[in-house]
Amino acid sequence: MKNQTTTNTGTGTRFAPSPSGDLHVGGARTALFCWAFARGRQGRFVLRIEDTDRKRSSGAAALGFLEDLDWLGMSWDEGPELDGSTRGEHGPYFQSQRLELYQKHLADLLDRDLAYHAFDTAEELDDKRRAARAAKQPYRYDRAGLEVPRDERIARAEAGEPHVVRFRTPDRPVVITDAVLGEATLPEGEVDDFVIRKADGYPTYHFAVVVDDALMECTHVLRAQEHFNNTAKHLLLQEALGFPHPVYGHLSLIMNPDGSKMSKRDKDKAVRAAVKQAGIEAPPEGSIAPEVFNAWIADKKAQLENTDLVRLAEALDVELPEINVKDFRRSGYLPEVLCNFLALNGWSPGNDLEKFDNAFLAEHFDLSRVQKTPARFDRDKLRAFNLDAIQSMTPREFRDKVHAHGEQFHPEFLNRLSDEQFDMLAEASRERSKTLDELYQGNRWLVVEDGDLSWPISKGVRKAMLKGEPRGLDLLEQLLPTLAGLEAFTAVALEGTITAWADEHCEGNLGKIAQPLRIAATGGTVSPPVFDTLAMLGRESFVARANGCIRALHEHAATMNT
RNA sequence: GGCCCCAUCGUCUAGUCAGGUCCAGGACACCAGGUUUUCAUCCUGGGAACAGGGGUUCGAAUCCCCUUGGGGUCACCA
């Protein structure tokens, strides 16, 4: 993260999110490409916050994305810092703090009659828009504001009458040259006299972005494809202001597997679907406030606050789809894997190579290989990449990473384990974990009190414990005293003893006794290798659980017979 | 709906710009078999695409046109 402005060769890129919530994966990919492009050319990578919408900007959310970029391994040369100060020579980096800069260029446009004050009310414009929509016509501003003579416009604006400032768009076609999409010509009339300063005095996106990209010396603008048509406006503005045109590259969107746009809304949708499926009319006890729930259900367009969403999802046992970088982090994906995978959605090195790191990306990334079509985000493939990365870690590396993940997301789990237990668990899970979170999701049995463990009679439990001759339950009872009296309760000792016992009592079929032992220890049929499982638990816990299990299953068998 | 852009296995993609080496390669997913004390991992094998139709050419996944399909956009949001 050192300042590289002194060594730059002229290439400059920027990532400029609006401060609404956490960093979306699509935004992360845009940032990654901007970062890689600058780094590969010894250029500057600048961060800027586009907070010109006063309604949507909140101070707290503004800098959340810095943490995400940092986690992903991207460094920036200039931008706002986590502590709120800034660094770099092109600041400030909050657009809301650059108002006088915009004002200066706007006055220039006004003076040269390339922009004008317009006094249409929001209602008037709304009506016109609705009419156009009803007539199935595209809406374009009709230049009603221009009917007021220039002197009068200026006088009324100076008198304080509410107004916006519009750009006087030249009547001619605009050619957009895009490094990814090629060349496109927008016919004359396609771009209308768009607003460049809102009634509240703030610039619109179009104006701020053009001024800032020029002032911050951005030579290359890589951004989401939703801005492609806007580029015409920006090109025109640059010409009017005498700014150079940066090279544009528009990146296709990232879609869900079903082809829909991948958005924060998907989380809300997932929970709504679960509510509908469960057929409930009130929030589950202890999840969220009934008023909140009712208001949310009543309005299909409403979105639940994130904390409420998470709570409700937990209560309904639905998994929220990962959308933001933070979601993927919580789910236990490695940052380098996420970057790798994100880069692969829309870019490839041009051969069969798929696994690469950010350094490789920075060295090889180029605009000509960026995909034009939207990519569907395939979490299965991401998981496969993550597994691969985990498997290539050293035991120590995995232990440390999975522990750090637990400290952040499952501290209560960690608190209940000794270091020794954790190390055993980590090693037993290392080559089978697709994410850092799996260890915590799949081993709850290890952190419940012995007295709180139960043995639900699932199909698997019934088969392993109560069916066949002899029943698994009987074998467990026979073997238990031997294990209880074992000198060392270690995985190695247990393996020796149990295998030998299986040779004698199960015709060498270890499976006959392994499942009963696992069930006794965990209450379920899935766990790490059984000897590790028992050793992790320790003799005392295991014996207590086994006795509890035997008792519970006998009771169950008895009630079934009567 | 107007305007703009795009189109290779289910998915991400290589090959397209400079037409032949492509009856189209890789990865994930899927299917079958194997290893395994559960789950997972792991090993082996398999099916799977140039959207459709016209051209141009000795020759087209590659160039042109049309159709179809997909995406973007049409705010005092960015």
Question: Are A74 and A113 within one domain?
Answer: yes
Q: Which residues of A are annotated as catalytic?
A: 264
Other beta carbons within 10 Å of A368: 8
How long is the CA A527 to C1' B39 vector, in angstroms? 7
Tell the burial category of A504 from Cβ atoms under 10 Å away from its Cβ (0-12, 13-18, 19+). exposed
Question: Are A417 and A526 within one domain?
Answer: no
The domain boundary residue, chosen from A255, A276, A300: A255
Question: Are A426 and A475 within one domain?
Answer: no
Nucleotide B26's nearest residue (CA vs C1') is: A352
Question: Are A454 and A434 within one domain?
Answer: no
The rounded distance, in Å, linking the Cα atoms of A443 and A344 is: 33
CATH number at residue A23: 3.40.50.620
Nucleotide B17's nearest residue (CA vs C1') is: A368
How long is the CA A251 to C1' B5 vector, in angstroms? 12
Q: Which nucleotide is nearest to A525 (CA to C1')?
A: B38
CATH number at residue A520: 1.10.10.350
Residue A305: the pLDDT is 86
Question: Are A125 and A189 within one domain?
Answer: yes
E strand residue ranges, A500-550: none
Q: Which nucleotide is nearest to A182 (CA to C1')?
A: B5
Nucleotide B14's nearest residue (CA vs C1') is: A351
Contact A197, A237 (CB under 8 A): no
The domain boundary residue, chosen from A193, A227, A255: A255
Q: Taking Cα atoms as reference points, which of A46, A147, A49 lies closest to residue A90? A: A46
Q: Which nucleotide is nearest to A197 (CA to C1')?
A: B76
Q: Which nucleotide is nearest to A122 (CA to C1')?
A: B76
The domain boundary residue, chosen from A255, A282, A308: A255
Query: Which residue pairs from A349-357 have beta carbons closer than 8 angstroms and sit at least 24 positions apart in sequence?
Result: A355/A385, A355/A388
How long is the CA A29 to C1' B16 vector, in angstroms? 25
Nucleotide B28's nearest residue (CA vs C1') is: A381
Contact A320, A313 (CB under 8 A): yes
The position carrying tokens 């919580």 is A330
How long is the CA A23 to C1' B26 vector, in angstroms? 31
Nucleotide B71's nearest residue (CA vs C1') is: A374
Residue A63: the pLDDT is 80
List Cβ neighbours of A383 (8 Å cut-off, separation of 6 or more). Answer: A434, A435
Strand A164-167 versus strand A115-118 pairing type: antiparallel
How long is the CA A257 to C1' B35 vector, in angstroms? 33
Nucleotides of B under 7 A from a protein CB: 1-8, 10-15, 17, 25-29, 37-42, 70-78
Task: State which residues form the domain around A230.
Answer: 1-255
List Cβ neighbours of A68 (8 Å cut-off, separation of 6 or more). Answer: A22, A23, A28, A324, A325, A326, A329
Q: Tell me whether residue A318 is in a domain.
A: no
**Total domains present in chain A:** 3
Q: Tell me whether residue A412 is in a domain.
A: yes
Q: Which nucleotide is nearest to A530 (CA to C1')?
A: B37
Tell the burial category of A43 from Cβ atoms under 10 Å away from its Cβ (0-12, 13-18, 19+). buried
The parts of chain A modelled with pLDDT lower than 50 are 1-8
How long is the CA A138 to C1' B52 vector, in angstroms? 31
Residue A537: the pLDDT is 95
